[in-house]
Amino acid sequence: MKNRNLVRGLFLIAIALAFGLTALRYPIGDLSRAGPGLFPAMVSAMLLVIGVSTVVRSFFVAPVKLDFNFKNISLILASLCGFSLISIYLDMIAGIIFMVFCSGFAASSYSVMRNVKISAGLVIMALALQKLLGLNLPLY
């Protein structure tokens, strides 16, 4: 039996190393004048710590069986692909709403009100990133 906690920790470590080693190719700078590699390196380091702690914890808790639900994996992938296509051809707000409602089918219970709240929160966050930080997001 494969332990889900152990596999989850190893997967987090792999992602952290992939992005962390890539981030080291860019200048890091220092905290007063950050380079383009500082933020991804810091996030990767935090993710690495979480992954290592998850692996260590997996040896002290009861193992949880690892099972794959291919329907849910397909729904999440379809929602991400739909988000990118709708964002390119229509606008990003419609893509966010599609992504939330499509990925909601992968949950154990489907709630339209929960999806509306999550969509509203993500749209507000995207608007804040566009207006406050000046990011070039095709929201509308």
Which one-letter amino acid corresponds to residue 61? Answer: V
* pLDDT, tens digit, 9 for 90 and up, residues 20-40: 999 889 988 888 888 888 889
**What are the two backbone dihedrals, phi and then psi, of residue 107, each rounded to the nearest 5 degrees?**
-75, 165
CA distances from 139 to 1, 87, 123, 129, 135 (A): 45, 8, 9, 11, 11
What pTM was computed for the model? 0.69
* pLDDT, tens digit, 9 for 90 and up, residues 50-59: 999 999 999 9
Q: Say what percent of the chain tops pLDDT 70.
A: 99
CA distances from 63 to 1, 38, 66 (A): 9, 36, 9
Where in the chain are the domains? 4-58, 70-133
Q: Are 137 and 126 in contact (CB under 8 A)?
A: yes
Q: Which of the four pLDDT bands, split at 50, 70 and 90, describes residue 94?
A: very high
